[in-house]
Amino acid sequence: METIHLTYPETPDVVPSVMVLGFFDGVHTGHQAVIRHAQEQAERLNVPVTVVTFDPHPKQVLSNKPDAVRYITPLSRKLKRIESLGVERCLVLTFTKELAGLSPQQFVDDYLIGAGAVHVTAGFDYSYGKFGEGTMETMPFHARGRFTTSVVNEQTEGGEKVSSTRIRKLLGAGEVDAAATLLGSPYVICGEVIHGDARGRTIGYPTANVVMDASYVMPRLGVYATRVRLRDGRTFHAMTNVGRRPTFYDTGDVSIESHLFDFSEDLYGQLIEIEWVRFIRNERAFDGLDSLIAQLKQDETTARSILS
Ligand SMILES: Cc1cc2nc3c(=O)[nH]c(=O)nc-3n(C[C@H](O)[C@H](O)[C@H](O)COP(=O)(O)O)c2cc1C
Ligand SMILES: Nc1ncnc2c1ncn2[C@@H]1O[C@H](COP(=O)(O)OP(=O)(O)OP(=O)(O)O)[C@@H](O)[C@H]1O
């Protein structure tokens, strides 16, 4: 996929294409429907598809808080997911206050007409330009006859819109399986394995301690059945704790640690991917090592049966 990063006032080259607009965090099933619709239009018009997205999230820039938004898919993962749908081109517009201040007409002139759009599509609730004043109802007007437009209806699951916001809430509540349904695949966090306290090994449950990019949405604290994918592509069933380890620390930082089943290799320094399958239980403070180990044994049985 050809990926073009632009920061206003940089402008795109003219390449005739169907342009599909949105932030697309998570590239969930709603987004997939919108992109699929764009691909159908592109086939009909015999041009490629260009996804037009932004980075960082508008809320992060407009709220003046650098960490206001956690991502289901930070940019690189979002781009990989979009590419895997067969999209040929992606325009990533740096979201700045200057870009946010463009009038709807200016936005369309500079980034859609100016990029060679022959057709523009988005979901029913897409908005653009200063204060989000442009909508898919005003798009035909701002198109100045230079491109046609279409709108994708609301995609729902269980009677409710599929949305990035909804998925972030589910992850925050530990409902990783429901999040996977809306995403169309399990939630994935990528991180590097670092050294922990090496206590895990002594209790028969060695763990890979993972530092993830701080911009990911953190699932609710607790113990999960997960799958761990290694750099070489092998995947192992695992149980993963997101927590403060209250048995050992009064106030610890939140850590993510995975115990991979039937695995005994060195993982230090590796980038691994954790796929979140199902919440098992809350983290607890145990009165000693023996009761923690007994609980871990039980967690292993539960996780193995969920994953089998
Ligand atoms: C599946 C799983 C569940 C865990 N549950 C708890 C828990 O409920 N309470 C707790 O204090 N620590 C819990 N832990 C954390 C262990 O205390 C931790 O793995 C151990 O102290 C090893 O730490 P280390 O990797 O830094 O050596 C859990 C770890 C795993 C892998
Ligand atoms: N459930 C849906 N049905 C139809 N279109 C959708 C749906 N969700 C998103 N879209 C469209 O996909 C594009 C990207 O949307 P956006 O990134 O705002 O997603 P979102 O899931 O609605 O996010 P948020 O929860 O942050 O509002 C937009 O054109 C939007 O209208």
Say what the pLDDT of residue 64 is.
82
Mean pLDDT value across residues 202-224: 93
Q: Which atom of ligand 2 is nearest to the CA of 22?
A: 14
Check the CA dihedral 5-163-183-173 and report its sign. positive
The correct answer on CATH 2.40.30.30 for the domain covering 187-307 is yes
- Enumerate the CATH 3.40.50.620 domain ranges in the chain, comma separated: 2-157
Say what the pLDDT of residue 269 is.
95
ipTM of the complex: 0.92
Mean pLDDT value across residues 229-240: 97
Residue 65 confidence (pLDDT) above 80: yes
Q: Which atom of ligand 1 is nearest to the CA of 196?
A: 26
pLDDT band at residue 6 under the 50/70/90 scheme? very high
The correct answer on CATH 3.40.50.150 for the domain covering 2-157 is no
Mean pLDDT value across residues 154-158: 98
Predicted confidence (pLDDT) per residue in 98-139, tens digit? 999 999 999 999 999 999 999 999 999 999 999 999 999 999
The alpha carbon of 34 and the centre of ligand 2 are apart by a number of angstroms equal to 9
Cα separation of 132 and 146, whole Å? 22
Is ligand 1 within 6 A of the CB of residue 247? yes
Cα separation of 209 and 226, whole Å? 14
Candidates 210, 292, 297, 307: which one to mutate for ligand 1, based on the most atoms within 8 Å of Cβ?
Answer: 292
pLDDT band at residue 9 under the 50/70/90 scheme? very high
Mean pLDDT value across residues 58-76: 91
Mean of pLDDT over the chain = 96
pLDDT band at residue 198 under the 50/70/90 scheme? confident
Say what the pLDDT of residue 191 is.
96
Indicate the angle between helix axes 176-183 and 164-172, nearest 10 degrees: 160
In the chain, pLDDT over 70 holds for what percent of residues?
100
The alpha carbon of 246 and the centre of ligand 1 are apart by a number of angstroms equal to 9
Is ligand 1 within 6 A of the CB of residue 132? no
Say what the pLDDT of residue 201 is.
77
Residue 12 CB partners (closer than 8 Å, separation 6+) = 4, 6, 91, 111, 114, 115
Is the pTM higher than 0.90? The answer reads yes
- Enumerate the CATH 2.40.30.30 domain ranges in the chain, comma separated: 187-307
